[in-house]
Amino acid sequence: MRLRLPAERPTEPPTGYKIAHPMLFQDGTRAGFTGVSLGGALPYGVLADASCVYGRRHRPPARLCDCGFHCVHVRADAEALLCTAGHRTAVLLEVTVLGAYIRFERGFRYARQRVRTATAGPCACGAPASALADAGWGRPGWRALAAVCPGCVRGRTSVTLTGFARLAGEGLRVVAGGGLPQPGAAPPGGPGLPSGLGVPELVAEAALLQARLDWFQAQLARLGERGPGGASRG
């Protein structure tokens, strides 16, 4: 006789935590995430359905397979994964577990999820992050992003935390570690800036633009020293 665990019927969807890499579509019009282990080759959106990475024709999470989204119950367990070298540039996600799920001792394996909050860690230099910039790798059609401060953006493809939340949509909030939540899905307004921003968001936008301006000025100064023919003066 095979014993089966009782079926759960929660009054509201469970909450879980996981880590993932933020991703930006090649034309800059969409944003999403990709996992750090199984299924990491398949970027997903804020609201997404799982599929079997082995190509089998069953609905995740199948009991005899390990497909489906994965998360842990405790936030601290997910934060611990960010300590490993390969996961330092990942962000912490708070997710709502939707659809069918299988409960394990430390987490869930489940069919559908909604990412509610993404928490970006500090820049590699240790300063608080104000944007997500090209991390130097990606997936076909997608650029992986990493948290950066205004001084480290330079000329890389980047998007502010507010901008990433807006591109991802579905009410996503993006939070700088230890900072304030950045509102998502804000309607556009003004010259290239979303409306409804507060002082912290506008300061971050201004700092990012100033960092880019400083970088371009440094490049122009270097070209001026070389002269029109490309040869150094002096």
pLDDT tens-digit readout, 185-220? 343 344 444 445 565 566 666 767 777 677 777 777
Distance CA 44, CA 22 (A): 10
CA separation, residue 228 to residues 48, 71, 221, 222, 225 (Å): 53, 57, 12, 11, 9
What are residue 25's phi and psi, to 5 degrees?
-65, 155
Per DSSP, the three-state class of 37 is: coil
| Predicted pLDDT at 226 | 65
* Paired residues of 92 in beta bridges: 19, 119
User: Which residue, among 99, 44, 109, 47, has the nearest Cα to 73 in the 3D structure?
Assistant: 109
Give the alpha-carbon dihedral of 211, 215, 218, 222, to 10 degrees.
Answer: 180
| CB distance 118 to 22 below 8 Å | yes
| Predicted pLDDT at 98 | 96
Dump pLDDT digits (tens) for 158-188: 999 999 999 999 999 999 985 444 444 343 3
Beta-sheet pairing, 142-148 with 131-139: antiparallel
The sign of the torsion formed by the CA atoms of 78, 81, 83, 85 equals negative
pTM greater than the 0.85 cutoff? no
Dump pLDDT digits (tens) for 44-75: 999 999 998 888 889 999 988 989 999 999 99
